[in-house]
Amino acid sequence: MINQALLFAFPVFDITIARYLAARGVDYLGIDLDQLDQLQADRLIAQLREWTSGPLLVGISSDYEKVEIFRSYQSLDEVLFWDKNSTISIPDLKTPQAVKISARISPSLPTDLDQAAKTILNIQNLQNFKLTQSCLGYLFNPGRETQTGIFDFDELEAFLDGLEN
């Protein structure tokens, strides 16, 4: 289980990957609501609720109207507006209630939850990431299945193992 950094997997499209991430202690599973139609999103959210436990489910969209619609459904733990092309990290991210903030961040980092989101680094390449001690956590793309139930976990496993050491 990962104890040092908050981990936000985004985007998550597959149950196989989501279950693996939940078992590895990832804190957030992010769903790209802009890549799914309403039926696909509802189905994925229901499957994630049924087949995973632990991570918070966060829907993300760059469409204000879609964000408000999903907030009204209350099927996700959090729904955020975020321009995914921006260089700004995910805004307004709250830490899970079960997370002990003091155990997760160094004393030099802000404990204010609004400020904490600004210290989550966006990992562009899982193979070449550099572990940073001065951040709250990492936003990373876990990848997608090649076929239903088929995924090569080697790169993802090496990334997560590197964070545990």
State the pLDDT at residue 136.
Answer: 72
Instruction: Please compute, for residue 106, the number of CA atoms within 13 A of its CA located in the half-sphere on the CB side.
Output: 8
Instruction: Evaluate whether 36 touches 14 at the Cβ level (below 8 Å).
Output: no
pLDDT at 69: 92
List all residues 6 or more positions away from 104 whose beta carbon is below 8 Å from its beta carbon. 4, 5, 6, 95, 136, 137
The pLDDT, as a whole number, for residue 144 is 80
pLDDT of residue 109: 38
What pLDDT was estimated at residue 42?
94
> Model confidence over 40-82: pLDDT tens digits?
999 999 999 999 999 999 999 989 899 999 999 999 988 888 7
User: What is the rounded CA–CA span in Å between residue 42 and residue 161?
Assistant: 32
DSSP characters over 75-92: -SSEEEE--TTSSSPPTT
CB neighbours of residue 71 within 10 Å: 15
Residue tagged 């307004």 (tokens)? 92
Whether pLDDT at 87 is above 70: no
Among 17-21, 116-120, 140-144, the range with the most confident prediction by mean pLDDT is 17-21
pTM, rounded to two decimals? 0.76
Least confidently predicted of 47-61, 84-98, 121-135, 142-156:
84-98
Rounded Cα–Cα distance for residues 33 and 37 (Å): 8
